[in-house]
Homo-oligomer: A and B are copies of this chain.
Amino acid sequence: MVLYVIGLGLADENDITLKGFEAVKSSERIYLESYTSILMVPGFKERLEKLYQKQVILAHRETVELEAESILEGAATSNIAFLVVGDPLSATTHTDLILRAKHSSPPIPVKIIHNASIMTAIGSSGLAGYNFGQTVSVPFWSDDWKPDSWLERIGENLNIGLHTLALSDIKVREQSAEDMSRGILRYQDPRYMLIPQLISQILSAANSQKADYLDPNRTLAIALCRMGSEQERIVSGTLQELLDMANPSQEEAQAEEAEDDADELASEADLDKRRAARAEARAKRAFGEPLHSLVIVGKRLHPLERDYAASYACPGSNFIQVAQDVYGCKE
């Protein structure tokens, strides 16, 4: 029979294709890969099960990487469906499972059913897919771990005029260092990097690498949020303008400071947590719930691309002006 590797598309259970849906219905077991992305609806496993009228098995990283045999079990006599949010092969993460199926004895035929991914949805920014260079993933930084090799890749793209899609990190089923050192298996709440943190890390990396190609006031970018969902939000502007969208107003900042000063019992750690929560709330007010991605615009910007992207400019944005002055996009 067949191992179907099926893309679920961008946002919810109805983004599967008719072909993918038929393949699911013909399958004996249905796995949902649950560690590289998420469908942007609550209870998505249950929603899939309701649509398919079948049980869906969550496949965590450990299962797929260490117990691939259990996924492929019985594929000689029945179809197996392996569902992946977005397109199943936009990263190489799942080629291992596929190669394993092909190298089984006897080989298990594999059928890929493609779908839209964030790499297709970039078209909604108005920028042509043709003009994108390599894609980068920006990981969460911690106090003592700030990898920034992705910055050089943005620079390589910009250097030849190309746009860059920057994907923000997601952390699911993550363990705290403390729990791990104590041998406690307990997962923290999922974390999703939002636009302000993504831009802050980019600017911070550019600053520490002395990269002069990411001036926040002279670099255009487009925030792509919850693409393909009902809450899709697209916002364009300079990096600085996008960052400012999630800054507190002067009144807010004063009120928050007063609140913190008045709370004499709060520890520094408490205050840090509170400030982070406020920043997150403001980021969501400006850009909506995750997932968020960012397009950094390259110099080869075409007037047609500019016009479309500018239709999403944030209030008061200098998008058109910067496109003209810095990008030389004049017509």
Contact = CB atoms under 8 A, between A and B. Distances in A.
Nearest to A128: B92
A304 interface: yes
Choose among A18, A88, A91 the residue with the greatest number of B CB atoms under 10 Å from its CB: A18
Interface residues of A toward B: which range? 35 or more
A137 B128 CA distance: 13
B14 A308 contact: no
Interface in A69-110: 87-92, 95-96, 98-99, 102
Number of copies: 2
B10 A18 contact: no
Given A114-B121, A115-B115, A120-B120, A128 B91 contact: yes
A23 B162 CA distance: 34
A14 to B, nearest CB: 4
B9 A14 contact: no
B99 A307 contact: yes
A9 B114 contact: yes
A102 B137 CA distance: 32
A17 interface: yes
A248 interface: no
A315 B311 CA distance: 52
A35 interface: no
Given A17-B16, A89-B124, A114-B116, A132 B129 contact: no
9 shortest A-B CB distances, which residue pairs? Answer: A89-B123, A114-B116, A14-B19, A14-B18, A90-B129, A130-B135, A92-B128, A87-B120, A95-B308
28 contacts: A7-B116, A9-B17, A9-B114, A14-B18, A14-B19, A14-B22, A16-B18, A17-B116, A18-B18, A87-B120, A87-B123, A89-B120, A92-B308, A95-B304, A98-B308, A99-B307, A99-B311, A102-B311, A113-B228, A114-B121, A114-B228, A115-B116, A116-B116, A130-B135, A133-B133, A133-B134, A133-B157, A134-B162
